[in-house]
Structure formats: structure tokens, C-alpha cells
Chains A and B, each alone.
Chain A
Amino acid sequence: MNKFFGRRYIISAIFIVLILVLLGRLFYIQIIDDRYLIYAQSNARRTFYLNPARGPILDRNGKILVQNQAFYDIMVTPNLVKPPFDTTEFCKLLNIDTAEFNKRMAKAVKYSRSQQSVFEKQLSPEAYASIEERLSEFSGFQSSTRYLRTYPDSVAAQFLGYIGEVHDNDIKKSGGYYHPGDFIGVTGVERSYENVLRGRRGVQYRLVDSRGKAQGSYANGALDTAAIPGERLVSSLDLRIQKLGEKLMQNKLGSIVAIEPSSGEILCYVSSPTYDPNLMVGHDRGKNAAELYKNPYKPFFSRPIQAYYPPGSSFKPIDALIAEQEDLITPQTTYYCPGYYVSGNRRIHCYHNEAHGTVDLARAVAVSCNGYFFLVFEKLVNRYGWKNTDSTFNAWRANVAKFGLGARLDLDMPSEGRGNLPKASYYDKIYHKGAWRSSTVISLGIGQGELLATPLQLANVECIIANHGFYYKPHLVKGIGDKNVIKPEYTQKNYVNIDSQYFEPVINGMQQVVENGTAAASKIPGIIMCGKTGTADNPHGEPHSVFVCYAPRDNPKIAVAVVVENSGQGAQWAAPIASFIVEKYLTDSISVRPSGITPEYFMNANRLPDLSSYSDKLKAKPVPKDTLNKMGIDTSDKEKAPEEKGQKPVKSASNRKNKPVHRQLTASLPERSEDEQ
């Protein structure tokens, strides 16, 4: 015993107190604080998404327009690249030099030593075939399949659209479905039927270690779901006439829209100039997109629904039909055409000052007599006297609007234009209320002036005439999935409130247009086609050549609108092109025409305006980054996370990725105008 014996208790007490301190702290973090379990789970659980195959798009006859094709990425795991490794042989195989090999290896090492990253991107199946057999000789290198869109016939670029990486706005709107780096339809059918085509993404939860390396499934896969591939979409397009149309329109600006009047299905959707949709796929898509964007003829501009043209004379039948319905004219109403029409104190000439003599309704349509339709228009607008111009004008406008002009037709395609159908208030603003007359706006009567329509609207008007008074909403799908369902609204008739008997005289006139009228050169042997030429005034240069038609006259199968920009009269360019489309669609061949016109002539003709100065201006400036982003092109230089077999980690394990390098892309392009010429 020594005198400090009591100190054992103090020492023991200190031990006990400090152990209790530890236990108290442990109690707090293990029992009270719930955050740590959540942290631990988010540390080790990684969500992997299995991206389903996107649905293919077919034409109406089952021919493939877009499908998925396997491409091969060569992946490298730097840790596994071990001697003996024949670098020279490997470089020969991939057709790169040693310096390039070292550069890529350095990049892969920088990303991660233990994780795969892409060494060579998107080899085509042909290129991969020669590598496949020998790849196993090189340790650390593996292939990974990814599916990309391919377009076997390289047609219908604007119709099909393209897919690209999601834009921030899409991510926000999707409510969490999309994640950065996902692909989404950006334009065309790919966009409007995104929900159908994309399928449903599968989810896999996996455990990962601190380096992000997978270590097995979470909860034995109980929460995982499989990916469901996208639905097959049968579009209404007819590949045969689409191909022909694109050939006929090459080296021209303009569009062809063909609709089946009995269903509203779009048969042909040509926007010229077009581009090879395969350019918007794969490893060079960013470069290609920028180049296409800089093309002065604007291949991304979807002319059938976005370009506005004055309908020109193709509008005349509408005037006649409304006037007939309103009992203002009869088919027998005649007008003596001296080559001009006097409205108020103005003399307005027929085309080329041609005097048509006495014309009735059918004849006026056939020879496209401006005077006759000025007369009709004035009858319509002045029926209650000039003091009531406002209200009668609006009544006329309402009747025209029923034909689908001046508003969207709700085509199942993004970015459809409205066209322009002015209201009385518009002229009130310009001329003051009551200070304008029918003579002021008389050019509307022949489809000029402020009246603007898209080629789709023009084709739809032909459907109405072909159907004698109604149309189905134009749409571009025949069916979705195996059951071929389509929306019920596409089977509803939309009436324009014109009795069917009033159509006959107009149709007679339209038949004469092709038989012996303005478009006689485009007559198809054996097919009765009804058409109307138009020459749309163009304040920037030569008028646009417009032709609308449908065929055959009895039991119509196809209605077409063709616009060839800067090409003068409708009969000269648009009508022959339309006739080839109609004939190809109806008979699957093109006969020898009495007039001697051949498709080859039109295919080879070049009607492109000279835009070299504009083009130089465009080339001098880089494409704004935001524009590219909106096109679904990732402009940052960051390395992509490795995607193994289409599975994409959503959150990368760490911040090892390079920070995006901001390029000097600050200058902007002028906004794309509706009518560039």
C-alpha cells in the first residue's frame, strides 16, 4: 500500500468518463443521426440506365427509312495493357501512328487507369470486321457495341429529323426522364414521336467501390427493370415518290408535298435543298451540322411547313367556291377579259397582258384569268356596299380560313408555320378604318399580296377540292407499333361548308388547266389530273413557280403542291415536277410525254440563286454554340463517360472528367428569315 492508493479511482474514473464520451458520440452518429446511412447508400449504389433500342421508322409500304445499326467502339482499360504488347502491329490494325496511339493512351490514363474509356469511336461494321478477329491478341482492348441511326436510302432528312443530345430545356420539361448525354429527337418525326420511338429505359442498380468500379448488383436486382425497345412507326411517306421528288428537286429551292386526300396521309415531303441524314449521325456529326448550318441555302429549313409563299393563282378556286356558295356567281357567270381588270381607278393586267375574251368560271380557272377573279373578289367584298368592307372582308376571311389557310394544320411535326391570312384590322391599321376598299386589297383575290401559305396548306386545299368539301388533318403516320394505332382526330372529316355541287365547275376548270390550259405540257397520258398553276410574286427576285393538283379526277388518290423558288411560271417548273410525282405514285412508272418533257431534264436543271456573297459572310462566322446545343450537339470538349453496351452511368463516380474548354464561339449569325431570297 502506498499513500497514493486512492488515485487509482481517479484514473479509473478518467478511463470510464472518456469511454462514455466515445459511446455518447457513437450513440449520436449511429442511432440519432440518420444521414449517414443515406450517405453510405448514395456512395455505393450507382444507377445504370439501359437505353432501349429506338424504334425504326418505315415508309407506308414497309420499306425502312431509319433503323438502328451496330457500330463498334474500341475500348481500352490502361491497367490491363500489359506486355507483350505489339504497339506497331496494333497501330497498323487501327490505321493510326504511334504518336496518335500514345496521345490516346495518355487521354485514357487521365480518365482512369482501371476503367474503360473509348479509344476508337464508332467503327462501321465493315471496318470492325477486319479488327474483330485480332483484337483479342491485344490485352486491355475490348470492343463495345453501340446502336446508331442509319438511313439506308439517305432520304427525307427534314421529314425524319435527327436525334441529338438533350438540351437543358428538354431535361427540365421531361420531369427527370432525361439526363445529360441522353439522346432525344430534335426535329421531324424523331421529335414529334419521341415518346413512342424512344421506348422505355431500363434501370439497374449496382454496387460500386470508391473508384466507381462495379461490384455486383444491388438487392440482388430486385429493383431493376428491363429496357423496353421503342415502337415501330409506320410513316405515311411513300419512299418511291419521295426519292423521285428529291431527285427532281435537286439543285433547286422549294418543296413538294403530296397528301392522300382520302386519309390526310402525307405521301411525299420534299424540302430542297436537302442533306444526307446519315451526316447527322456518328462521330463527325458536330462538324457536319456546323457545315450544313452554314450552307446559304439552309438545308435544315423545313420548307413544306416553314416556308411561306403567296399561293398565286392556285388560290383562285377558293374564291370561286366561296362566291358560288354565297350565290354571288354561278358557273355561267361570264366576264369579258380585255387583258386587264378595272378596279376603282386602277387597271390591273392579266399575266403578260393576255386578253382572254369572254370566260365563264371553268374557263377562267383553266386560263387563269386574273380579271375574272378580281371580279369575284370584289363581288364578295363589296356585296353590302363599300361602307361594310370591314365586315364583309372578315366574312370572306373566315370562309378562306376554313380551307386551312392562315393557321396551323396541326401536322404532327414540330415548328409548323401558320402562313398569313390578314384580318380587316390589319388594313385598318395601315390605311385607317374605313379608308380602304376592295380595290386596295384586290391582289388577295388572286392569291397575292399579304396572303401567304405553306406548301402543306396548299396541298391540303387540293385535298379539300378533291374530296368535294372536306379534309382530314394531314398527318405523317400510318400506324404505331404492331397494332397500327393512330390518333382518332386523324379519321375525322373537317368540312369547309361548301356544298359539293359547287366543286364541279371549278374541277372542270382545273381539269382543263392540264388538258389544254396553262399546264397542258404536263398532261399525263391515261390519267385525268386536275391542277392549277400559280406564279407567286417574289419581291426579292424572279417569282416562285407554284403548281397544285390532284389525280385522278374520279376517286382521287393523291393531291400535290409543288413550289420551285425563283423559277417563274408554275407551268414551266412546278407543274411537270408534280405530274411526274403523280404518275409515279399512281402507276409506279413514268411514261413518255407527248410534250417531250423528261424527268432527267428537271433533275439536271439548276435553279439555285447566286448567294455567293451571303455564303462568304456565313462562312466567316462560326456557328453559335447555343445553336449547336439546341441541335443536340454537345459542344463541350469533355470526354464522354464510357458507355458499355449502351448502358450509361448517370452520375460519374468522381469529378475526374476534364472541365469543358470554352471555345471562342461568341459571334452570332443573323436569324434565319422566313424567305431568304
Chain B
Amino acid sequence: MNNNQPQRSFFFNVDWLMVFIYLALCTIGVLNIHSAVFKPQSPSWFDLSTDYGKQILYVIIGGCIGIMILLLDGRFFSSMAPFFYGIAIVLLMLVLVVGRNVGGNQAWISLGGGFRLQPSEFAKLATCLLLARYLSGTNIKVTDTRSFLTAAAIVGFPMLLIMLQPDAGSTLVFSCLLFVLYREGLSPYFLILEGLFITLFVLTLKLNNAIVLTGVLAGIAALIIFFGRRNRKLIRVILIGLTICVGFVFCVRFIYTKVLKPHQKVRIDIVLGITSDPKGKGYNVHQSMIAIGSGKMWGRGYMRGTQTKFSFVPEQGTDFIFCTVGEEWGFAGSIVVLGLYLLLVLRIVRIAERQRSPFSRIYAYGVASVIFFHVFINIGMTIGIVPSIGIPLPLISYGGSSLLSFTIMLFILIKLDSNRMGFIY
């Protein structure tokens, strides 16, 4: 070890708060999976034919991998980033050929013995690493068009491959890396534009009248021009913005009516309240809201949730695991879980900002963005404010690939952070 500071222990400088949050979330996950899928036929916690038995195994494996990561040299991850990325891309291509099709998505590679691998989970990790490595390079500025495009390509390539599965949820996860680019200097207009586009997207579909919306936008633009400072530059910016907005509105209409598949349209419609179909297409979300809503303040008690136990809620161990939290632990439990996640991402942001190495910082922002995006979309979906997109709740949802990839992600960060006083990689 060629460090300025002698390393006294493998656990030296480890951020124990992160480790604690990690373990807390994993424990909550195992408990809720146990409650959601418990079958009286197999009462043992360590029965590997059950999901909770497997999840406990994954947590143990995750713990081992975490310790192994702490044993490695901090520079290993930066230097191996292209290699990991390459493996992820190969796996993503492989899954399109030999993958198992589950629920319409060809996203899994079977490993035998009832275990299977979801490459897209690891692709997020690899992409974060490579993006961090690229952006931390000398003379790379996100504001340069060339650098920006390269960064976009690093993110875009795995997105494209995942889109082919087709797994819309995992594809969208990559878009959260916009936060990373923003932190590294991308113009705030991108974020504002994103917010504006989401608003316009909702309005377009809700109002279902592109002409009126265009009129309103033009009216707003006119008002700003007439009552604002008569600045030629401002007028130009506003007019360009107006053109982009109107173009976007028509694009959304076109994509919505012509490109989207009916089931995707329905999911969007249900979230926006355009249609309600609690018996058919909206069944999942309706049942999920019943489950969470029935929890009231203190929940119905561990193993007492009828919605999740009696399979009214689908996918109750994986994508809809938050239903069990909401139903059995109530609003109090929901606050605890959301609080832990918020604490986690804010802690990561804090860690990011104390790094000397840009690689570590950028990687940390990547991790925070990915985790936050997963949490927001997953919980938002179960309470009906986000369309149903099948992505797991980090560390809580059942699933080895997801749990292990988040574990690796976090422990790499912890390792990098423990070396924060060391070299700039």
C-alpha cells in the first residue's frame, strides 16, 4: 500500500452510519418479504425454497462481498471500470440471445438451481463507474459538447440494450444520471427543461387538447414579453423556448397516440386519473393503494396484512414490497423507511462532497441518483402517483441481482470514502 497514511485496519475510516443504514434496510427487506410470501408449509426462516430464505442468503453473500470490497485497493475500481462496463454490455447482449422471458421482459440469464441473473441491475453499477472515470479525466468538462456527447453515449448504450429487452423501467433509471452531469456543471436549463417537460407531458395528456395548450403557452410568452423588460435577447430565448415547448406538446401527443403500446398508455392514464379501471388494468395499483391505505397510522401488525398475505397485491415480494410496509407497519413504518432512504441519499451527497477525488465524488452522485430514482419511482408507483414501472425498491425488494448490485455499489462507495484522504485517483 502506497498511501500517505498508514492503513491501520481494513475498517479504518469506514462510514459506519452508511453500514448501519444498509443493514437496517436489508433487515426491513427480509422481514417484509417473510411476511408477504410466508407459507405455513415451510415455517423455517432459512428454507431456501422460499423467497425470504433466499433473501437471507443474498444478504449474507452481500455481506461477504462487501468485506471483500473493503479488502481491495481503492484504485482497483477506477482502473477496472471499463472492464466492468464491458462485461455488463456483453451480458446485456447475451441476455437478448439466451435470456429467459419472464412477464414479457427478456431480462434474466438462468444460472441453474432456481437462481438467475439480471444483467441490467449490474449495468447500472458499471455505468456509474465508467461515467465517473470518464468525467474525472483531465480536460473533460461536461459543458464541452464533445465530452457531453461521450458521457451521453456511455449512459445511452446500456439504455438502448435494456430497451430492447424491453424493460422500460430499468431503461428510465439511467436517465437519473442527469443529476450527476448537473453536479459536474451541466447547464441548469437541462433540469428546468426536464421539469417543464414533465409538466407539459402531464398537461398534454390531461387536457387532451394540444391547440388550447399551445394557445396558453403563447399567451404566457406574450405576457412575459409585454410586461417584462423589453430585452431583445430575452425575447429570443422566450420565443425559442415557446417553439420547443409547442414542439414537445405535439411530440408527446404523437408518441402517446401512435408509438406507445396500449398497456403503457393505460398505465399512464391511470396515474393521471384519465381512466380508472380498478378491476382490470388498474387492478394492481388499486389493490396496492388499498393495502397501503388500510395500514392507517400504526399498521395492521406483522404478518397480519390481508392484502399482501392473501395475494390481492401482485408481486408482493418484489416490486410491490412497499405495500407490506404500508399495510403492516402503517404510516409510522412508511416514515421510517422513507426516512432511512432520505438519510441514505443525503449521507451519500455529504460523502460525495468530502472526497478529494473527482472520481469518488462523481461515482457517489451516481449512486445517490440511482438509489433515489428507484425509491421515488417504486414507492410512487405503489401509491399511484407514478405509472407502474417494474423496478425494485433498493435493498428491500426480493431479488438477488438487485440486492447484490446495490450492495456492491454502496460498498465501493464506502471503500472509496475510507480512502478519501488518500491519492486522487
Contacts and interface: CB of A to CB of B under 8 A. Distances in A.
Interface in A623-657: none
B296 interface: yes
Interface string B362-379: 000100100010011001
Nearest to A22: B379
Interface string B303-342: 0001101111000000000000011001100110010011
B383 A215 contact: no
A323 to B, nearest CB: 78
A26 B310 contact: no
A7 B183 contact: yes
Interface in B364-410: 365, 368, 372, 375-376, 379-380, 383, 385
B334 A23 contact: yes
Contacts of B188: 10
Contacts of A18: 372, 376
A45 B297 CA distance: 22
A37 B182 contact: no
A401 interface: no
A7 to B, nearest CB: 5
A127 interface: no
Interface residues of A, number: 39
Nearest to B373: A18
A215 B185 CA distance: 57
Contacts of B291: 36, 40
A675 interface: no
A37 B380 CA distance: 20
B10 to A, nearest CB: 29
Given A7-B183, A19-B342, A35-B293, A25 B383 contact: yes
A39 B379 CA distance: 20
B294 A36 contact: yes
A95 interface: no
B293 A37 contact: yes
Nearest to B278: A39
Contact of B293 (A5, A12, A36): A36
A35 to B, nearest CB: 7
Which secondary structure characterizes the binding site on chain B? helix
B338 A19 contact: yes
Contacts of A210: 310-312
A28 B349 CA distance: 29
A392 B290 CA distance: 78
A625 B14 CA distance: 81
Interface in A30-73: 30-31, 33, 35-37, 39-41, 43-45
A190 B365 CA distance: 80
Contacts of B383: 22, 25-26, 29
Nearest to B330: A30
Q: Which of B310, B312, B379, B383 has the most CB of A within 10 A?
A: B310
A39 B376 CA distance: 26
Given A30-B330, A30-B331, A39 B380 contact: no
Given A4-B184, A44-B310, A207-B306, A39 B331 contact: no
A15 B182 contact: no
A40 B346 CA distance: 35
B179 interface: yes
B290 A39 contact: yes
Contacts of A25: 380, 383, 385
Contact of B182 (A2, A3, A7): A7
9 contacts: A4-B184, A11-B182, A12-B346, A16-B342, A25-B383, A26-B338, A30-B326, A31-B296, A40-B293
Interface of B: 179, 182-185, 188, 287, 289-297, 306-307, 309-312, 326-327, 330-331, 334-335, 338, 341-342, 345-346, 349, 352-353, 358, 365, 368, 372, 375-376, 379-380, 383, 385
